[in-house]
Structure 1
Amino acid sequence: MNYAERMRNLRQDNDLSQKKVADMLGVAQTTYSQYELEKRPMPIDYLIALCKFYNVSADYMLGLSNRKNP
């Protein structure tokens, strides 16, 4: 599973809309949608923010591990 799939799954598991997560990151919903669809690379600072928001490790978010927390 890649990071875009993990992002989408975490968002859906937490019953959040793309708009809600985009607002938290300070980006437009369309921009966030492009991150989930892998049409635009996600900046590392947004990856870090999402890891903190969802309380998961970067390894989990990137698909390098199936353990959410180290």
Structure 2
Amino acid sequence: MYSNEIFGTRLKDLRKLCGETQQELAELLGVKPNQIGEMENGRKASTFAKLAQICEHYNISADYLLGLTDEPRPLREETTGG
């Protein structure tokens, strides 16, 4: 079931795992850093457009971010050249 808290926790975990600051993610999404903090703390939700950007950026399925599954599946499979 979706909750802002689950979304926020998972967003924060992904951001930290990638070594990004709230400022860096905010710049990518075209929002202010405090909006990232509000999303991570469960006080605000993301728009569909921003959700899509986040999924693309972190290569993670929306169902994981939204709390519909606990399995963090990639949005697209990584390919290796060779």
| Aligned-partner SS, 2:43 | coil
- CA contact under 8 A between 2:6 and 2:66: conserved in structure 1? yes
RMSD over aligned Cα, in angstroms? Answer: 1.5
Given the alignment of the two structures, is residue 63 of structure 1 paired with residue 35 of structure 2, yes or no? no
Distance 1:13 1:37 in 2: 17
1:11-31 per-residue CA deviation (whole Å, 9 max, x = no partner) reads 010110000000000000011
- Structure 1 length as normaliser, TM-score? 0.89
Segments ≥4 residues shifted beyond 4 Å: none
What is the Cα deviation at residue 58 of structure 1?
Answer: 0.6
Q: Which residue of 1 aligns with 2:18?
A: 14
- Could you list the runs of 5+ residues in structure 1 that have no partner in the other structure? none
- Could you list the runs of 5+ residues in structure 2 that have no partner in the other structure? 75-82
Q: Which residue of 2 aligns with 1:51?
A: 55
In terms of fraction of residues, the more helix-rich structure is: 1
Bigger radius of gyration among the two: 2
- Structure 2 length as normaliser, TM-score? 0.77
